[in-house]
Amino acid sequence: MTRFLPALAAAAAVVLAACTSDVDTPETPPRCDPETDAALSAWADAGFSGSVAIAAAGEPVCAAGYGVADQATGRPNTADTVFAVGSVTKAFTAAAIFDLADQGRLSVDDRVGDLLPELRGPVRDATLRQLMTHTSGLNGSAGADHEPLSRDDALAAIDAMAPAFPPGTDYLYTNAGYTLLALVVEEVAGSYREHAASRILSDLPSAGFWDGDPAASGDRAVGRLDDGGTGEAGDFPGPHWALDGNGGIAMSVSDLAAWTHALFTGAVVTAESAAAIATPEVDLADGAAETPGWVAYDATAYGVPFLAAAGGGGDVGHDAVVIWIPEGERVLAIASNGPGVSAEELLAAVGPALAAGDPIPAPDVPGGAVDPDAAAAIVGDYRLDTGGAYRVTADDGLRIAALGADAVLALFPPRDPGAVRAHERLVAELLAGDTDAGRDELAALEDEFGPVGDAEPGGTVLAEGELRTYVTLDTGEGPLLAWYALNDEGGVDGVEVGADPPSLTLAPSGDDYRPADPAGTPPDVTVSFGADSVTVTGPDGATTARRD
> Which residues fall within 8 angstroms of residue 389, CB to CB, at 6 or more apart?
381, 382, 383, 402, 403, 404, 407, 545, 548
Q: Which residue has the higher pLDDT, 494 or 502?
A: 502
CB 321 within 8 A of CB 152: no
Domain borders along the chain are: 6-355, 373-503
Average pLDDT over every residue of 315-327: 93
Burial class (CB in 10 A: 0-12, 13-18, 19+), 548: exposed
Q: Which amino acid is at 291?
A: T
State the average pLDDT for the chain: 89
Q: Does residue 9 carry a pLDDT above 70?
A: no
Question: Which CATH number describes the domain made up of 6-355?
Answer: 3.40.710.10
Instruction: Determine what percent of the chain is predicted with pLDDT higher than 70.
Output: 91
Tell how far CA 467 is from the center of its chain: 13
Cα dihedral 131/134/135/140 (nearest 10):
90
pLDDT digits (tens, 9 = 90+) for 429-457: 999 999 888 998 999 899 999 999 999 99
- pLDDT value, residue 301: 60
Reduced to 3 states, what is the DSSP secondary structure of residue 304? coil
Nearest to 178 by CA among 114, 234, 133: 133
Q: What span, in angstroms and rounded, lies between the C-alpha atoms of 174 and 204?
A: 28
Q: Does residue 49 carry a pLDDT above 50?
A: yes
> Which residues fall within 8 angstroms of residue 374, CB to CB, at 6 or more apart?
none
Helix pair angle (151-159, 176-189), 10° resolution: 130
pLDDT digits (tens, 9 = 90+) for 79-123: 999 999 999 999 999 999 999 999 999 999 999 999 999 999 999
Cis peptide before 30 (omega within 30 of 0): no
Q: Does residue 25 carry a pLDDT above 60?
A: no
Q: Does residue 188 carry a pLDDT above 80?
A: yes
Q: What span, in angstroms and rounded, lies between the C-alpha atoms of 31 and 37?
A: 7
Q: Which residue has the higher pLDDT, 294 or 358?
A: 294
Tell how far CA 434 is from the center of its chain: 28
Average pLDDT over every residue of 196-210: 96
**Predicted confidence band of residue 65 (pLDDT cuts 50, 70, 90):** very high
Q: What span, in angstroms and rounded, lies between the C-alpha atoms of 245 and 90?
A: 6
